Amino acid sequence: MCIDKSYFLKARELFKEYGYTELNTQYDDCLAFLLDGMYPCVELISSESGEKHAESLKKDYKEMDYAVKIFSNSSIDELEKYLFNGFFKVKAANRRISRMYEEYTSSVMKPYGKQGSDYEYIDVSYTVEHGMEKTESKTGGIVDSIYDNP
């Protein structure tokens, strides 16, 4: 992949959209971005000619206790996917949603003596009253009454 000035320009815009601050480097073939927060990190982007510079910067930032990642052959789409997943914490959100779903289905199904993973519709009998007339049936009676009495 060819990393040129237009690539660096797109990368700058992308990292700024996700809240990163560009750090000054003394190199033209390497960019550095800081995401400050609870776990501050520095993301480095380098061209092939800038790999040694990126490694030098990585060493310097690691000595300052930053987490550091180097992107040297990533497409703009790959960078955006990385930033999107990091910003929205997709994996953690999916795990949290899955855990919450398991807890919910377990609580719903527990009274029926079933495990949460067996969460499904339970077909039960219903009593439907039309005036004074009582009919006992499965769900068909309810569906019929909905269509018959709009």
Q: Which of 88, 104, 133 is the last residue of a domain?
A: 88
Asked whether 127 and 136 are in contact (CB, 8 A), the reply is yes
As given in the structure block, the two tokens for residue 73 are 């052959």
In this structure, the answer to whether residues 104 and 149 fall within a common structural domain is: no
Which pLDDT belongs to residue 70? 96
Q: Provide the H-helix boundaries in the chain.
A: 5-17, 51-63, 76-88, 90-109, 139-148
Each residue's pLDDT tens digit, 46-89: 998 899 999 999 999 999 999 999 999 899 999 999 999 989 99
Number of compact structural domains in the chain = 3
Provide the residue range defining the domain that includes 136.
122-150
Which pLDDT belongs to residue 114? 73
Tell which wins on pLDDT, 103 or 61.
61
Which pLDDT belongs to residue 35? 94
Each residue's pLDDT tens digit, 115-150: 665 666 667 766 666 665 555 655 556 667 676 765
Half-sphere exposure of 13 (CA within 13 A, CB side): 7
